[in-house]
Amino acid sequence: MSKLSPIKINSLNHYFGKGSLKKQVLFNINLQVQPGQVIILMGQSGSGKTTLLTLIGGLRSVQEGNLQVLGQELNKANTDQLIKIRRKIGYIFQAHNLLTFLTASQNVQMSAKLNKNIPSKEIAQRCNTMLEAVGLGNRVNYYPDALSGGQKQRVAIARALVGNPELVLADEPTAALDSHSGRDVVNLLHKLAKEQNCAILIVTHDNRILDIADKIIYMEDGQLAISDSNFHVQQ
C-alpha cells in the first residue's frame, strides 16, 4: 500500500462555460488527505462539492492548479493515465448504478475484472467474500430488483472496495436511504475502508453520519471555508 497522500491539491481553480459565460466555480483549493482518513465534505447545493469530487475522481479535466491522486498529476494527464487512475479508485454514488440484469455477485465482478491485480480464477470467490463482508452472503445470486435500497447500496460498497482501492469517493451515499439503512451503510463503509487503509472522501448533506469522519470540511461558494485545525488545509 502506498504511503503517499492519496489526494494532494494545490491552487486548484475551475470554471464552467466559455467567453462571456465563463464562471469560476472553484477558487484556490488547497487540500491534502492522508491514507486511512475518512473525510466528509459538506456545503450547500452549488457550493462546488460534487465538482471537486469529480475532478479528484478523474471524471472531469483539471484546468488550473495541481491535483495529484495516488501519486499521479491529473493536470494535463492523458486518457490512458486517467483510465489507470480511475481503476484504482472506488466510486459510490447516490444512485447505486447496479446493472439490473446481473446478480449482486456479477455486479461486483464487473468491477473486479477491471483490476489487473486480481487473478481471473479468484474473482468470483473474492466478490462473494466481499458481499459476505457487507452482510449479503445470502444474497449473492439475487438480482437488484429483489434487493432493498440499503442492500443495493451495500452491493455498491462491495463493488467499490473489492479491488482494495487506496481511495474511495462517495457522493451522497445515504441520500436515498432511511436513517437505519444509511447508518448501516456508512458504518460498513467506514469499517471496511479502515481495514483496507484507504482514504474515503464523502460528499453529503446528511448530518446523521458526521460522527464517522476523522475530519469535516465545509465548502462555501467554491472555497474551503472551514476546516478542522489539525487537518492540512492551506488558504
Q: Sheet with 223-226: list strands edge to edge.
A: 89-93, 167-171, 199-203, 38-42, 215-220, 223-226
Query: Using alpha carbons only, what angle is made at residue 161 by residues 32 and 164, rounded to the nearest 5 degrees?
Result: 75
Distances (CA, A) of 100 to 47, 104, 143, 203: 33, 9, 6, 26
Distances (CA, A) of 94 to 24, 140, 201: 26, 21, 14
End-to-end CA separation in angstroms for the chain? 30
Confidence of residue 13 (pLDDT cuts 50, 70, 90): very high
> Average pLDDT in the 187-209 region?
84
Checking if the pLDDT of 73 tops 80, the result is yes
Q: How far apart are CA 91 and CA 170, in angstroms?
A: 6
> Average pLDDT in the 86-91 region?
88
Q: What pLDDT score was predicted for residue 227?
A: 54
Checking if the pLDDT of 88 tops 50, the result is yes
> Average pLDDT in the 129-155 region?
90
Q: Residue for cell digits 464552467?
A: 16
Q: What is the CA radius of gyration of the chain?
A: 18
Q: What pLDDT score was predicted for residue 40?
A: 93
Read off the amino acid at residue 88: K
pLDDT digits (tens, 9 = 90+) for 39-63: 999 988 889 999 999 999 999 999 9
Checking if the pLDDT of 235 tops 60, the result is no
Question: With the CA atoms of 161, 40, 225 and 27 taken in that order, what torsion angle do they form, in degrees rounded to the nearest 10?
Answer: 20
Q: What pLDDT score was predicted for residue 226?
A: 57
Confidence (pTM): 0.85
